[in-house]
Structure 1
Amino acid sequence: MFSTSSQREFWTFSDESVLALHREKHNIGFITKHGQHIDENQRYNFFLSPEEERLLLRNYELHLKEFCRRFQPPMPKGVTGTAFQYFKRFYLYNSTMDYHPKEILATCVYLACKVEEFNVSISQFVANIKGDREKASDIILNNELLLMQQLNYHLTIHNPFRPVEGFLIDIKTRCSLSNPERLRTGIDEFLEKVFLTDACLLYAPSQIALAAVLHAASKEQENLDSYVTDMLFKDAGSDKLAVLIEAVRKIRSMVKMVEGPARERVRAIDKKLDRCRNQENNPDSDIYKQRMREALMDDDITYTGTSRMSLDTSGVTQVLSPSAS
């Protein structure tokens, strides 16, 4: 039940300003820690700003969506939704300058496959990744525990897909709408976009599902207002109904505002990130390679770490090593 879940208690926030404060806090924290030897006036030219981090993450959310869409074998919707929520949660409490989104993205999807019981082995998983697949496996497996720790081991995710099915069954049972199945296309389109917003960090899955259903109905030039007020929430007080209506309105507004960042801007931010990221967490840095050699020395394993891997997204190579941007 969502109402008693860790998602409700720890990962549902009051409004977007709270999310912005979390992100700004960890942006400033990284700059303070790693910018001690840089003139204060130069720090904000060298490091990413909170706005630049958000644009970068928005870009990688698009790649996450595309990676899941192209994944073989075909990936259930629940895995995609869970991966998105892991990705968003991770970067509420971490900076992209500390952990590059290219690497965390793949780890989020891999962990989501496990949690949602979509049984693919690590070798099957990295078959969807271009480049050095052995290195891809190392990066994903090395980050898996880190990801779980940063999520506070709150791994169960309540996605809006199940509530959608409940609403459709109820509409078929109690509503006079003809052929409710025709709403599915609009619902699916809406839910694909909703994960590109922060709605899953602000609203209950049932509220997101209802927003999707109402959006799809309006696209079909149908009105379900009476279904909501006279059937679905017939016994609810006016205050509760007002809260629900406002939540649905805001979710639909967030989805309407979704747009991808300008490619040139993202490319510039990516290059800036290459210079300012934490090299201790960069698999292509000398510091990282030396640390791996020391860790593996007792096992007589040679670590080279020279090849790179890239996510197979929409035909655009997304190198998981940022130094190749």
Structure 2
Amino acid sequence: MFSTSTQRKFWTFSDETELARLREKHNLQYISKHGSNTDEYQPYNIFLSPEEEGLLLKQYELHMKEFCKRFSPPMPKGVVGTAFHYFKRFYLYNSTMDYHPKEILATCVYLACKVEEFNVSIGQFVANIKGDREKASDIILNNELLLMQQLNYHLTIHNPFRPVEGFLIDIKTRCTLPNPERLRSGIDEFLEKVFLTDACLLYAPSQIALAAVLHSASKEQENLDSYVTEILFIDAGPDKLAILIEAVRKIRSLVKMVENPVRERVKIIEKKLDRCRNQENNPDSEIYKRRMRETLDEDDMPYSGTSRMSLDTSGVTQVLSPSAS
């Protein structure tokens, strides 16, 4: 049940201001730790600003969407939703300058496959990644425990897909809407976009599902207002109904505002990130390799070559190496 879940208790926030405050806090913590020789009045000449981190994460969310869409074998929707949850949660409490999203992204998807019981081996998984697959495997497996720790081991995710099915069954049973199945394409389109917003950190899965159903009905020029007020929530008080309606309105507004970041701007941010990222967490840096040599036998040492690894996103050329193309 979502109402008693760790998702509700620890990972559902009051508003977008709270999310922005958390992201800014960890941005500043990174700068404070690594910027001892930086002009305290102009730190963003060297380091990424919270806005730049946000744009970078939006770009990598698009990479994640395309990677999951083209994954072989076909990836269930629940895996995709769970991966997005993990990715968004991780970067509430970590900076992209500390952990590059190109590496955390793949780890989020791999962990989501396990948690959602989509049984693919690490070999099958990295077969979907361009470049050196041994290196990809090392990066993912080395980051897996870190990711679980940063999620506080709260790995069970309640996605909106099951509530959507419940709403469709209920509409078929208690509503006069003809052919409710025609709503599916609009629902799928809405949910694909909703994971590019912060809605999953702010609203219950059932609220997101209802927003998707109402959005799709609107696209089909159907009105389900009477179904919601006179059938679905007939026993709800006016206050509860008002809260629900406002939540649905805000979710639909978030989706409506989704825009792809300007690619040229993202390229500039990526180059800036290459200069200011934490080299201790960069698999291609000498510091990282030396640290691994100290903790592993030579035979067990992760791949340390210079070949590149990239998510196969059919045309997106972002590479998983320190220098972005």
Shorter-chain TM-score: what band?
over 0.9
Corresponding position: 1:23 with 2:35:
no
Q: TM-score scaled by structure 2? A: 0.98
For residue 319 of structure 1, give the secondary structure of its aligned residue in structure 2.
coil
* 8 Å contact kept, 1:284–1:323: no
* 8 Å contact kept, 1:280–1:288: yes
Post-superposition offset of 1:38: 2.0
Cα-to-partner distance string for 1:71-110 (whole Å, 9 max, x where unaligned): 0000000000000000000000000000000000000000
Post-superposition offset of 1:314: 3.2
Q: List aligned pairs for 1:240-251, cutoff 5 A.
A: 240-251=240-251
For residue 40 of structure 1, give the secondary structure of its aligned residue in structure 2.
coil
* 8 Å contact kept, 2:87–2:108: yes
Cα-to-partner distance string for 1:220-241 (whole Å, 9 max, x where unaligned): 0000000000000000000000
* 8 Å contact kept, 2:284–2:304: no
Cα-to-partner distance string for 1:120-157 (whole Å, 9 max, x where unaligned): 00000000001110000000000000000000000000
**Aligned pairs, number:** 325
Q: Structure 2: which amino acid aligns with 1:38?
A: T
Question: Residues 239 and 92 of structure 1: is their aligned pair in 2 closer, same or farther, counting only changes over 3 Å?
Answer: same
Question: Residues 232 and 316 of structure 1: is their aligned pair in 2 closer, same or farther, counting only changes over 3 Å?
Answer: same
Q: Name the structure 1 match of 2:174.
A: 174
* 8 Å contact kept, 2:217–2:223: yes
Corresponding position: 1:11 with 2:11:
yes
Q: TM-score scaled by structure 1? A: 0.98
Structure 2 regions of 5+ residues with no counterpart? none
Q: Name the structure 1 match of 2:62.
A: 62
Question: Residues 301 and 47 of structure 1: is their aligned pair in 2 closer, same or farther, counting only changes over 3 Å?
Answer: closer
Q: Name the structure 1 match of 2:85.
A: 85
For residue 19 of structure 2, give the secondary structure of its aligned residue in structure 1.
helix
Alpha-carbon distance in structure 1 between the residues aligned to 2:102 and 2:174: 46
* 8 Å contact kept, 1:310–1:317: yes
Q: Structure 1: which amino acid aligns with 2:248?
A: V
For residue 268 of structure 2, give the secondary structure of its aligned residue in structure 1.
helix
Alpha-carbon distance in structure 2 between the residues aligned to 1:306 and 1:267: 21
Q: Structure 1: which amino acid aligns with 2:90?
A: F
Structure 1 regions of 5+ residues with no counterpart? none
Q: Name the structure 1 match of 2:75.
A: 75
Q: List aligned pairs for 1:288-299, cutoff 5 A.
A: 288-297=288-297, 299=299
Q: Name the structure 1 match of 2:311.
A: 311
Q: Percent identity?
A: 85
Post-superposition offset of 1:322: 2.7
Alpha-carbon distance in structure 2 between the residues aligned to 1:206 and 1:18: 22
Q: Name the structure 1 match of 2:267.
A: 267
Post-superposition offset of 1:39: 2.5
Post-superposition offset of 1:112: 0.1
Alpha-carbon distance in structure 1 between the residues aligned to 2:302 and 2:99: 24
Corresponding position: 1:53 with 2:53:
yes
Q: Name the structure 2 match of 1:119.
A: 119
Post-superposition offset of 1:302: 7.8
